[in-house]
Structure 1
Amino acid sequence: MTTWTRDFEAIDAGMLATVGGKAANLGELTRAGLPVPSGFCVTTEAYRQVATLAGVDGSHEAEKARELILGAPVPAEISAAILAGYAGLGDDVPVAVRSSATAEDLPFASFAGQQDTYLNVVGGEAVLDAVRRCWASLWTDRAFSYRATNEIDNSSVQLAVVIQRMVQSDVAGVMFTANPVTGRRHEYVIDASPGLGEAVVSGAVNPDHFVVQDKKIVERRLGDKRLTIRSLPGGGTEHVELTVGSDEPCVTDEQVLALASLGAKVEQHYGSPQDTEWAIDGDGELWLTQSRPITTLYPLPEKSGKDTRAYFSFSVAQGLYRPITPAGMAVFRLIASSAGREIFGIDVADPLAGPPAFAEAGGRVYLDATNVVRSKAGRQLMPKVLGVMEARSGKVLTDLFDDPRFSLTQKSRRKFVLRLLRLAVKYRIPPRMLQALISPAAAHRNADKVGEQLRRRIALPGDATAIQRLDHIERVLLKEIVPLLPRVIPSAGAGFAMLGLAGKLLGGTAGLQPVLRGLPHNITTEMDLELWHLATRIRGTEAAALFRDLSAEELAQRYREGTLPDIGLAEFLRHWGHRAVAEIDVGMPRWSDDPTHILGVLANYLRLDNPEMAPDAQFARGAAEAAETIDRLVAGTRRKRTVRFALNRARELAGLREMPKYFLIVALGAVRGHLAHIGAELAGAGRIASAEDVFFLNLKEMRAALAGITYQDVVATRRADYDQELRRRRIPRVMLSDGTEPEAVSQTAPAADGSLPGTPASAGTITGIARVVLDPVGAHLEPGEILVAPSTDPGWTPLFLTAGGLVMEMGGANSHGAVVAREYGIPAVVGVADATHRITTGQTITVDGATGVVTPA
């Protein structure tokens, strides 16, 4: 054993930096006693020596780096070590020579196929040449691009090379120990084809396909297997066209089940689902030639048990795709505990852990909906609620009604009805609704009073200690917020009840949508219009040129330095600075912490030069259209006074729907301020590296840190995990406890004309240029462009003022984005599956907000 090579038996999983991901896995599998062909690894130290001689340091373009590596001399001692290792495998034995990068087969990025592999290499000189070419393949264009996508620094990556005895396989392929499409764990998906496994791995052949579940083959599909890759005598491979055999499987049922059994052993060893490569030689012996983590699987909910459970993504329903910080998750757990006790009468043993239905997966909040799906009342209510909140989730959960694992167990609705009655009495919901109908002005005064009480209850003296602030946070979240919200909700409910009543009296809800245009008393609309008025004040001032010439980041820097002209931003932030993008996560900076987003929005507004498209003008037109619609509907009915009363009350009260969440955001803004003080103290004491790191601790850990425990390493690990989750693009709306994503199982094929179906959200049709925005911070949206987003929350709504239309992946008819789109009068379709993948920026699309269809031009 030298610094240049390592035998598989001398390699374990902790040697990633020395041998790379592929070799680390092969060494680990060998040491575990699994059937791995013998081999050795040329270490990263050998590559480093050659790269240094070549002058490659990570700063070169990919093509130049490849040229330098291929032209560099290989030191004699390295060549000798490689040849000695090769000789130890046998006399001119055929080997596979594979790249093994340090950024490879990682939990978040597999790098599969990014570097080169050479099969059936025979002879010492051929092995040395293949090793050199593997080193150079670290700098292929595809590997270079993949690292950039995964934000991996080129200078930090090294390459080792695996040299392994060839399995002259009769049949080979790949096996996943969890279904990579549906996410289901312990479901073994096997692809097999005659010859070497490269035919399957490279996608050159349609293989036989098998799925094994509970030691039974539950699915089989034969491929045409028109091509095989075989070893040539003396080295190299050949591609051979096959003319027969496509109607027969290339592996027996016994071999398929043996593969699944081997996959179970591999997964058990690693403790996580694996993507493996395998081969069966001419003697029928089964070999494992590679194993790596399946990086695309969504993590299981933390509370998954033996029984199959159904989990609903509360995060997605709230328009939040990004992960939630640990502090934000801790806040959610306390609020959920409070709601469990106050509203549902659930005994929560540990409020810091949350109620039994609360679960975390991938840094997102999931709720256990199993009992709801199994109850008669839940089956009746849930589709209606989710139909207007998050329609796609509602459809997926409804499909579970036919699954025998979720059969009805609670057939009586008596308990549910009694609970509703108790809540109605406890929070005086009928009297509050009646009061709002009698006097909308009183309802608005009541909302203001609730806001004042909340602000008083969450305030603390400026000299409060860190431990006092932490105690206060826990008390406020557990006892103060949830009980206040039912005092406001009935007023908004009364407004929507009047809208429903009007619909019944008029014989249907068709034509009612314009009634909610330009809706008054909506706190988010008021914020957006105030921001627009701020933009109008900037026009014609010296600051306008700065907004035209500087980036949002440069403007923010000037604002912090005090060199930005006074444009009224400080006053706006005093009133609205507690708001943010993804604002339900207390770990997200508020606009008062970082005004970059707001300054970028103002710059967008200043590009709007058509007065007819000005947001305040559009809002005024919406209000006028609502008045005209009410007059027209009243004129067409015999119950004129009742219908006018109902529609007028709907307009006066429905805008209050935003207030409960707004009050929650006010509270979270105050909580964030208290946490910032705690973070500053912990950073000063060296318990965390910076004050912002406090948001990567939960409340229990903050208490321990104040008592003297250091959490710098914990925070570093969580930040890395959080950054990985930020890159995840697909978030299951509903998932089962075995990892299955039901929506993936029942996914329908795209329409023949390329149209994308969704849920109608705001009537009207627009054809325009799409702008796909994954994060509104720093987003550039030209006036009239169609905003295509995964989801939205109030932090996104300033973009709505200049958008010509809206397409969202999530949501229902009454989700936040849908409501605001209607109020602003822009066509919108929500619940469009994979919209941000299937639509590209610059593409011309048509959004039909009445039919719920998005059509590419």
Structure 2
Amino acid sequence: MRTGFPAIDVDPHPDFRIYSAGNLGEVAPQRLSPMSWSLVGTPMERGTRRLVRQVWGTVPWAEGSHYVFLGYFGCRPYHNLSAYSHLAGQFPRVSPRDVTEAYFEGVEPPPVRSHGREGAVRRYAAIPRMLRVWGRLNQTINRLEEEVTVLEDLARRAVGRGSEAGMYEVLLRAEPMLADGWAAHIVTTSCVVPMTVAQRELHRRVPGAGGAEAWLNRPRELVWSRMYDAVGTPGDFAPGEFLGSSFYEVADADDPWQRFVVRHSSPATGAGARPDGVLELDEALWGMLPPVRRRLVQGTARMIGDMMAAREHSKSVVMRLLHLHRRILPELAAAWRLPGGRWPYLTIEEFRRAHREPGLLEHAEQRREECLRAVDAPMPEHLDLTGAVGVPWGAEARRLARGVSPGRVTGVVVTSADDMPEDGPCVLVCASADADVAPLLGFVDGVLTQRGSEMSHIAILAREHRIPAVVGYADAAALRTGDMITIDGRSGDVHVEPAG
């Protein structure tokens, strides 16, 4: 991986050349600072390679000095769609389309070369290895949460005393935690696709279970309600303090990066719990199956629901670690008398050496100039680097609305907490959504977004709250507060009745 100055772009893969913003495009800022990329993209890349080694060992298609699974071009983060499509082929019965449906808004997958694919024996052997990795996952995430809580306390004391040594220790101790946190998140994101494929195959063979996946795959409890209860007082390093900031950009108070930050207005948490005595549809479906079939269907659905919950839990741990960097980095930059506003143009590895190697800052100025040019240049949603660099790929593809959380509701359009009606159902409409809208979900009756895919974070949140959700509705931006809409979270149908 390239570390020289003043480059901001990473080396593209020599063979896997089609990139897509994918779910990064749904929830991450359109541009990330070099510092944030080093805290997000670099450990995600390493975590994906770690998973590949754990499941398949050392394989040529996941090695090299280039980035394999991610890309960073023009300061925009991308997934390597070709690489993920190739990775899908390493599991039995998993196709590239399963990946694009889950995380890439259903775009047409790129052609996948047949050579480099693992043999049938190794593909089936990957299943128990993946299950072993998954079996250790919750223990790892719980350990990380405990360690992060201790680190937040250390950061609180170090910043309160103005201790350079204490703040520097926070950065050093955060490094392995961040690597493990992103690796855990990669495991949850990767495991859920073959699990849903296996579930689909099972349901096809179990009479009475076919087509019920949307009603069954629901996490029992997510971490976000607990995080919102732990927001605390701003500045006290509480576990939920990060919820008031950008989830991915640590330089969200600095230009030009603050231009790309997306935040949603949310009220205090008060999400409604499921009423006692109400029979859920998943319970009703299970109850209609004979005992053996019920155990099979119920077991797979709960495994997938637990994986969804672990995905959100691991993300919360990572976001807390990123928030520690958001608080510590400017404090240390001031203590080390680094030139104002230059630290976002360093990587975290470079920042840790900046006070010992002043020459780094001279190069950082060159990178800053390149970044300022890059952020004003349009970067497409998809890139095909097989020929000329920067050629859009699939840019004209129209997003198709799809239901990701079942149910049907008719209500008025709301776009923020200020729009909530005093009575009557309402539907939250936004361009995209992440866990920052979690508190709103207890007060709305449905969700409609312009961006999204089957395994979007908003899809998982909506399933936990038992409200219908439709993602990928291209005309969401045209809807206005007060419009009456009907959404079907199973079929993806949307009907609009404009206000007045």
With structure 1 as the length reference, what TM-score do the two structures score?
Answer: 0.45
What residue number does 1:686 align with? 337
- Tell me, in whole angstroms, the C-alpha distance in 1 between the residues paired with 2:226 and 2:171: 33
Give CA deviations for 1:793-816 in whole Å, capped at 9, x if unaligned: 112222222233222222222321
The residue type paired with residue 275 of structure 2 is A
Counterpart of 1:418 in 2: which secondary structure?
Answer: helix
The residue type paired with residue 505 of structure 1 is V
Kindly indicate whether residue 146 of structure 2 is the aligned counterpart of residue 452 of structure 1.
yes
- Tell me, in whole angstroms, the C-alpha distance in 1 between the residues paired with 2:204 and 2:148: 36
Kindly indicate whether residue 351 of structure 2 is the aligned counterpart of residue 706 of structure 1.
no
What residue number does 1:574 align with? 238
What residue number does 1:850 align with? 490
What residue number does 2:448 align with? 807
Q: Per-residue deviation at 1:388?
A: 2.6
The residue type paired with residue 343 of structure 2 is V
Q: Per-residue deviation at 1:337?
A: 4.0
In structure 2, list runs of 5 or more residues that go unmatched. Answer: 1-7, 53-57, 254-261
- Tell me, in whole angstroms, the C-alpha distance in 2 between the residues paired with 1:465 and 1:579: 24
Kindly indicate whether residue 336 of structure 2 is the aligned counterpart of residue 624 of structure 1.
no
Matches within 5 A, 1:253-402: 303=11, 309-314=17-22, 316=24, 319-344=27-52, 345=58, 346-349=62-65, 355-370=67-82, 377=89, 380-392=94-106, 395-397=107-109, 400-401=110-111
Q: Per-residue deviation at 1:484?
A: 5.2
- Tell me, in whole angstroms, the C-alpha distance in 1 between the residues paired with 2:16 and 2:191: 39
- 1:822–1:646 distance in 2 versus 1, CA, 3 Å: same
Identity percentage of aligned residues? 17
User: Among 224, 227, 238, which residue is 1:524 paired with?
Assistant: 224
Counterpart of 1:630 in 2: which secondary structure?
Answer: helix
Number of residues of Structure 1 aligned to a counterpart in Structure 2? 455
Give the greater-gyration-radius structure (CA).
1
Give CA deviations for 1:295-352 in whole Å, capped at 9, x if unaligned: xxxxx97546998931121453663253223211111243134225412344454xxx
Contact conserved, 2:448 with 2:473, CA < 8 A, in 1?
Answer: yes
What residue number does 1:118 align with? none
Q: Per-residue deviation at 1:704?
A: 5.1
Q: Per-residue deviation at 1:856?
A: 2.7
With structure 2 as the length reference, what TM-score do the two structures score?
Answer: 0.72
Q: Per-residue deviation at 1:383?
A: 0.9
Q: Per-residue deviation at 1:723?
A: 7.4
- Tell me, in whole angstroms, the C-alpha distance in 1 between the residues paired with 2:455 and 2:264: 29
Contact conserved, 1:682 with 1:705, CA < 8 A, in 2?
Answer: no
Kindly indicate whether residue 310 of structure 2 is the aligned counterpart of residue 602 of structure 1.
no
Contact conserved, 1:450 with 1:484, CA < 8 A, in 2?
Answer: no
- Tell me, in whole angstroms, the C-alpha distance in 2 between the residues paired with 1:685 and 1:825: 50
What residue number does 1:666 align with? 317
- 1:332–1:840 distance in 2 versus 1, CA, 3 Å: same
What residue number does 2:125 align with? 421
In structure 1, list runs of 5 or more residues that go unmatched. Answer: 1-299, 402-407, 434-442, 535-555, 562-569, 590-596, 606-613, 748-755, 774-778
Q: Per-residue deviation at 1:657?
A: 1.8
What residue number does 1:676 align with? 327
Give CA deviations for 1:135-180 in whole Å, capped at 9, x if unaligned: xxxxxxxxxxxxxxxxxxxxxxxxxxxxxxxxxxxxxxxxxxxxxx
Contact conserved, 1:762 with 1:827, CA < 8 A, in 2?
Answer: yes
- Tell me, in whole angstroms, the C-alpha distance in 1 between the residues paired with 2:83 and 2:189: 25
Give CA deviations for 1:118-137 in whole Å, capped at 9, x if unaligned: xxxxxxxxxxxxxxxxxxxx
Give CA deviations for 1:236-289 in whole Å, capped at 9, x if unaligned: xxxxxxxxxxxxxxxxxxxxxxxxxxxxxxxxxxxxxxxxxxxxxxxxxxxxxx
What residue number does 1:776 align with? none
What residue number does 1:736 align with? 384
Counterpart of 1:743 in 2: which secondary structure?
Answer: coil
Contact conserved, 2:21 with 2:79, CA < 8 A, in 1?
Answer: yes
- Tell me, in whole angstroms, the C-alpha distance in 2 between the residues paired with 1:396 and 1:490: 19
What residue number does 2:435 align with? 794
Contact conserved, 1:492 with 1:654, CA < 8 A, in 2?
Answer: no
The structure with the greater share of residues assigned to strand is 1
Q: Per-residue deviation at 1:364?
A: 2.4
Matches within 5 A, 1:553-564: none
The residue type paired with residue 421 of structure 1 is A
The residue type paired with residue 780 of structure 1 is D
Q: Per-residue deviation at 1:830?
A: 0.8
The residue type paired with residue 705 of structure 1 is A
- 1:421–1:475 distance in 2 versus 1, CA, 3 Å: same
Contact conserved, 2:286 with 2:298, CA < 8 A, in 1?
Answer: no
User: Among 408, 418, 431, which residue is 1:780 paired with?
Assistant: 418
Matches within 5 A, 1:698-777: 698-703=347-352, 705-707=354-356, 708-709=358-359, 710=361, 717=369, 724=376, 732-737=380-385, 738=388, 739-747=390-398, 757-772=400-415
User: Among 464, 468, 479, which residue is 1:839 paired with?
Assistant: 479
User: Among 284, 291, 296, which residue is 1:640 paired with?
Assistant: 291
Counterpart of 1:786 in 2: which secondary structure?
Answer: strand
Contact conserved, 2:487 with 2:495, CA < 8 A, in 1?
Answer: yes
What residue number does 1:510 align with? 211
